[in-house]
Structure 1
Amino acid sequence: MIPYLEGQVLLINKPLYWTSFDAVRKIRNLTGVMKVGHAGTLDPLATGLLIICTGKFTKKINEYMGMEKEYTGTFTLGATTPTYDLESEPENPKDISHLTGEQIHTATAQFTGPIMQVPPAHSAIKKDGKPVYLAARKGEDVALEPRPVTIYAFEITAITLPVVHFRVVCSTGTYIRSLAHDYGKALGVGAYMSSLCRTRIGSFPLTEAKEMESFISELQELKK
């Protein structure tokens, strides 16, 4: 496990339902290396590229976190959820039968470029030293200030109503869940994020990432 102790940059395809910390903890336990961290959280319901650094390369985490990100996934139109994704139940159903393909495509334009975005109340952002999702889960009102982010590309790649498929390239700090919510509001029917996959961080593509299961097997073989 010497290479991991000295420092490695690992590209991992995070499995569905795993937290980003689950992946870090698994690698820490298997390698015995205490200095392990990730460069950008993925929610449990998201999959895709997770950069994990060990040893001296943990110093580069902030550099990787600042790189632009690319995502693909789906938004479901015609309802909202408190968490802006499927961590909570859809509510506020709206009729979407009047929507045209042109409306669905052109609504992306107002979210392209530098924009101000309000993060989800159900997020790990800290307010008064505590993650705001703790208050949100109790039903308390959480007021977060808009933050500047940049959406370099936002395209609808397929429409299978009520689901629309998208590709987004964005700056660090962008919440795709908030983008889903705001996009649905712009269409007047509501929307929530129903799937998400991070396909690139900077110049690191998901295609070069290892599946978590096969990486675990590799580490276990090294320990024999």
Structure 2
Amino acid sequence: MHVLKDINIKFESTLIENGCLTILDGKITAIIGESGSGKSTLLYKAGLISAGQYTYSFDGTTLDLNNDAELSQLRKTKIGYIFQDNNLIETLSLKENICLAATIAGYDVTDEDIRKYLIYVGLNNVNENSYPRQLSGGEQQRAAIASVLAKKPDLIIADEPTSSLDEGNAEAIMQIFQRLAHEDGKKVIIATHNGKVYNQADVIYAIR
């Protein structure tokens, strides 16, 4: 379980004051709110991307948020990031993208591992030597998740992961998140304004 406390987010006005966010193992947590409400900023604090003073208990260990080396190591090895626009490197094949993600996290991957990750996200019939530009939008987002899986993260951060997808592909992505949380015990946290997405979450935080 991860717990963030004393969260303050301000832009032109105060969006969150002394907020608290709990991310549970084996659950999907959704952060919802209108554009500009601060939901992505809150998500990035959970993912150790956004700076600021708050308290973060990471699986029972209180983090030193001024220790850049420690935070960088956690980002590399414990946290997977999925964004609205897939975070694949266009000049690398799917295989190379997956290998790079694994290498950053300190893992070696075999061809069998790569095939396993692609099958997990439903890309059974996609050639691992394909390039992102050769895939549809839904396939690209699945491939991005496959790359994240190669890091073996405990926490998966997803910022509007379905907003550029049609309804069918969005549902397929949510099914992957359901499996990651409910079968594999991962912590999954999603920022979204899509009701069909957040209604599948186990826990919902609304920013108003």
* TM-score (norm. length: structure 2): 0.29
- The structure in which a higher percent of residues are strand is 1
Please identify the structure whose Cα radius of gyration is greater: 1
